[in-house]
Amino acid sequence: MEVESTIYNADNLGNVSLLVKPYSPISFIMSHSDSSQSESENMDSPRSYQCYGDERRKMDNKSDRLSALPDRLILHILSSFQMKDVIQIGVLSKMWRLLWTSAHNLCFSHSLESNRDVTELIKSIDDTLILSQPSKLNKFSVEFLYSNLFVDHVNKWMIFVTIKSVEVLELNLMKMRGCEEGYSLPQLMYSNVCLRKLKLSNCNLVPMEGINWPALRVLSMWYAKLSLEVVDAICSGCPGLESLKFYSDDDDNDDKELMIWARNVTSLEISGCFNEKILVLQNVEALVDAKLYFGREFRTNQKMLNDLLASLGHVEKFSIGPWCLKV
């Protein structure tokens, strides 16, 4: 089985860098860049080979250096892995068997090509959240093919996200085109002072009493139903928002105009199909980077596009899709 080897490289200042590369069989290597010569240069003479063998025998008699690392550093390393890999790594050392329960980044993913049933992933997430020990988490991320059969599970995860004061939340709830409606974010999520980054896919916002996300800096919404009320709630409830991205392929609601105003936003990306809606940008003077990518069904009048371009005339970096150019 091919796994990844982890190489720690410590400089003279004590800074540690992490390099990950494919390697088989399982091997963990700790190296220090103290000498000016490479290892191959030190191995040129018979004396070097003898010394190298002596050092290897000494190392064999010592405890595992990787296990001797502080738990905090090990957890930082494990935070870059998917949770299923983190749990599997626990078999390498008895000391690590339950270390994963202290992880501050919980990331779960189920690809469409996987032979594993998605219900197994749902159960593993439920079990992991029960055992999670930190009082505060940095990141919670899930990606799988969503069905309304799982709504109760996802609702419980959102309670967990709130209790654990999660700062980065990613809900990539994939769907088959033309299938069920997306997941609606529960009401408890619309007042959250901890969220800094929120990425939603196939999730709808239905705030009954507005939105209060004062710490939010980055918001991405894909395949969401966007109404004038929702966009207004986002703009007014996220005073510190710096990056806004949304993709919409929905034109079913009655709103004919979507007005976006966000005085602190520096990065804006709008994509999708807006056949009937008129997009209006106001108070976007802080924008530095803007992107407009509309679908091939984009047939909106020239005036709307001219108005958008006029609103974005001051940005430093501007990208436009082929269908906008065609219009």
Nearest one of 251, 273, 267, 259 to 323, comparing CA atoms? 273
Predicted confidence at residue 64, as pLDDT, reads 64
Q: In 10 A of CB 52, how many CB atoms?
A: 13
Phi, psi (5° rounding) for residue 73? Answer: -70, -40
DSSP bridge pairs for 219: 198, 244
Residue 103 is encoded by which pair of tokens?
A: 């992880």
More confident residue, 274 or 252: 274
Which one is predicted more confidently, 32 or 269? 269
Comparing C-alpha atoms, which of 63, 62, 83, 66 is closest to residue 26?
A: 66
Name the nearest CA neighbour of 161 among 184, 183, 191.
Answer: 191
Distances (CA, A) of 16 to 7, 66, 78, 255: 10, 13, 15, 54
Q: What is the pLDDT of residue 228?
A: 84
pLDDT at 263: 83
Name the residue with higher pLDDT: 176 or 311: 311
The answer to whether residues 162 and 189 touch, using CB atoms and an 8 Å cutoff, is yes
Count other C-beta atoms under 10 Å from residue 54's C-beta: 10
Extract the runs of DSSP E, i.e. beta strands, from 176-312.
Answer: 183-184, 197-201, 203-204, 218-222, 243-248, 257-261, 267-272, 278-282, 289-294
Short-list 257, 258, 273, 308, CA closest to 287: 308
- The Cα–Cα gap between 177 and 175 comes to 6
Weakest mean pLDDT among 123-127, 193-197, 292-296: 292-296
**Who has greater pLDDT, 171 or 15?**
171
pLDDT of residue 28: 27
The mean predicted confidence, pLDDT, of the chain is: 75
Angle at which helix 118-131 crosses helix 151-163, to 10 degrees, equals: 30
Please, how many CA atoms are within 13 Å of residue 180, restricted to the half-sphere of its CB? Answer: 14
Distance CA 285, CA 114 (A): 45
- Provide the pLDDT for residue 117: 87
Q: What is the mean pLDDT of residues 144-159?
A: 94
